[in-house]
Amino acid sequence: MYYYIGPNNQQQGPVPAEQLLSRGVTGETMVWKAGMAQWQKAKDVPELSRYFGSSSFSSGNPYDDQSTQFSTPPNYGNNGNYGNNGGYGNYGNYGNYGNYGPQYAGQFGGNQPMGPKPDSYLVWAILTTLFCCLPFGIVSIVYASKVDSAWRMGSQMEAEENSRKAKNWALASALTSLGIAIIYIIAIVAFGVSFGAFN
């Protein structure tokens, strides 16, 4: 499972290697997985060569340095500096002893996403399931339940997408129920008018 640096230097993932291309990862995108000593360009990781090809420049085997292997992603900064002594490493401006200490470490490393957690719309999903269109409401609940898990895994984009779908399906459920109610009322009125005409 790989982490990668997405738009605006946001850490995304983890995702399987075969899904990296569908997430917009290119050979120049910085990636990392458990056991690697530092962030690497995707094209320089031997395991990903079949997806991105090989580069004329290689920074070496990312698994060679056993003394600096990590089980969670090392810090990665806006200017591409990484590792123990890079601009955003352990002693850089945003490192363990820099201007922004450990209390802000989750913003630049670890599994937490960069932005705030999106609304799951779970309450609306449940209400529309109970009182509106049941099938659409159930779909809304499914997507709403995925928001928190995606956000905790550090996938901000996936969490936002699930939030959007949960909202849209809840809205579709409510509108469908409203449309059915309007059609029902029109049918009752038409029936009443027709019945009165025969009397």
Q: What is the pLDDT of residue 85?
A: 41
Asked if residues 159 and 117 have their Cβ atoms less than 8 Å apart, the reply is yes
Asked if residues 159 and 151 have their Cβ atoms less than 8 Å apart, the reply is yes
In the structure encoding, which two tokens stand for residue 31, read together?
A: 């990636």
Question: What percentage of the chain carries pLDDT values higher than 90?
Answer: 22
Tens digits of residue pLDDT in 154-181? 888 999 999 999 999 999 999 998 999 8
Q: What is the pLDDT of residue 83?
A: 44
Give me the amino acid identity at 155: S
The answer, yes or no, to whether the previous bond of 14 is cis (omega within 30 of 0) is yes
> Does residue 93 surpass a pLDDT of 50?
no
Q: What is the pLDDT of residue 37?
A: 83
For residue 12, the cross-strand partners are: 4
Q: What is the mean pLDDT of residues 60-71?
A: 48
Range list of β-strands (E), the chain = 2-5, 11-15, 30-32, 40-41
Asked if residues 38 and 58 have their Cβ atoms less than 8 Å apart, the reply is no
Spatial strand order of the sheet with 40-41 comes to: 11-15, 2-5, 30-32, 40-41
> Does residue 1 surpass a pLDDT of 70?
yes
Give me the amino acid identity at 180: I
Structure-model confidence comparison of residues 174 and 106, the more confident one: 174
What's the whole-model pTM score? Answer: 0.41
Average predicted confidence (pLDDT) for the chain: 74
Q: Residue 96's pLDDT band (boundaries 50, 70, 90)?
A: very low
The length of the chain, given as a count of residues: 199
Per mean pLDDT, which of 88-102, 108-122, 155-169 is the most reliable?
Answer: 155-169
Q: What is the mean pLDDT of residues 111-120?
A: 71
Structure-model confidence comparison of residues 60 and 106, the more confident one: 60
Q: What is the mean pLDDT of residues 142-152?
A: 90
Q: What is the pLDDT of residue 169?
A: 95
